Amino acid sequence: MSIDRKTVEHVAALARLGLTGEEKTKLEAELSGILDHVAQLSKLETGKVEPLYHILPIQNVFREDAASPAGVRDDVLKHAPGARPPFFVVPNVLDE
């Protein structure tokens, strides 16, 4: 399975990763190599195998509906980049 530059760029855009040209070139080769290795999975016949969604034999784990304050807001805002308490702040959402 070989990965071309366009795919690298598309995937990087999905993952919001800014990559340099050099990084892209390296990733083309590295990802292709890893996917070659991964390709051996396709040799396995799994038509009748149920995917394993959860390794644990447990289901129906709930919490009860009771509200309690965590009291961590100010602590989190104190360390948040560019925050203006009581808000978090982000630049230029509209101009995206």
Partner 1 sequence: MSKTGLDLSACQLADAIRDGELRAADVCGTFLEHIREQDPKLQAFVTVLEDDAMRQAESVDRDHSHAGAALLRGVPIALKDNLCTRGVPTTCSSKILEGFVPPYDATVVARLRGVTPFLGKTNLDEFAMGSSTENSALFETRNPHDPGCVPGGSSGGSAAAVASGMAPLALGSDTGGSIRQPAAFCGVVGLKPTYGRVSRYGLIAFASSLDQIGPFARTAEDAALLLDAIAGPDPRDATCLATAAPSCRAALSKPFEKLRVGLPREYFQEGLSAPVAQALAATRQSLQDLGCSMVDVSLPHTDYAVPTYYILAPAEASSNLARYDGVQYGLRAPAGNLIEQYLNTRSAGFGREVKRRIMLGTYALSSGYYDAYYLKALKVRRLIHDDFSKAFAQADVLLTPTTPTAAFRFGEKVSDPLQMYLSDIFTISANLAGLPALSFPCGMDGHLPIGAQLIGPALSEARLLRIVHEYQKDTNWHLRRPQSILRSPQKRKRTPGEAG
Partner 2 sequence: MKYEPVIGLEVHVQLKTASKIFCSCSTEFGREPNLNTCPVCMGLPGSLPVLNRRAVDLAISAALALDCRISPFFKFDRKNYFYPDLPKAYQISQYDLPLATGGRLEISANGSSRNIDIERIHMEEDAGKLVHAEPGHGVPKGTSFVDYNRAGTPLIEIVSRPDLRSPAEAHAYLDALKHILRYLDVSDCNMEEGSLRCDANVSIRPAGETALGTRSELKNLNSFKFVEKAIEIEIERQTEVLESGGRVIQETRGYDSAKNTTHPQRSKEQAHDYRYFPEPDLPGFTVTPDQIERFRSALPELPAARRRRFQTKLGLPAYDAEVLTAESDTADYFEKVVGLGADPKKTSNFIMTELLFNLKTAGLPAGRSPVTPARLAELLKLQADGKISGKIAKDIFPAMFEKGVSAQEVLKDQKIELIADAGSLDEPIRQVISENPKAIEDLRAGKLTVLGFLVGQVMKKTRGQADPKIVPQELKKRLGI
Contact flag: residue 32 with partner 1 (CB under 8 A): no
Decide: 1 and 32 in contact? Cβ < 8 Å.
Answer: yes
Q: Measure the CA–CA gap between 29 and 35, rounded to whole angstroms.
A: 10
Q: What does the chain come to in residues?
A: 96
Residue 37 interface partner, choices partner 2, partner 1, none, CB cut-off 5-8 Å depending on type: partner 1
Q: Measure the CA–CA gap between 4 and 47, rounded to whole angstroms.
A: 30
Instruction: Tell me how crowded residue 77 is: count the other CB atoms within 10 A of its CB.
Output: 14
List contacts with partner 1 (CB under 8 A).
3, 7-8, 10-12, 14-19, 23, 27, 30-31, 33-35, 37-42, 44, 46, 49-56, 58, 61, 63, 72, 75-76, 79-82, 88, 90-93, 95-96
List contacts with partner 2 (CB under 8 A).
10, 13-14, 16, 53-54, 56, 58-70, 72-73, 76-77, 84, 86-96
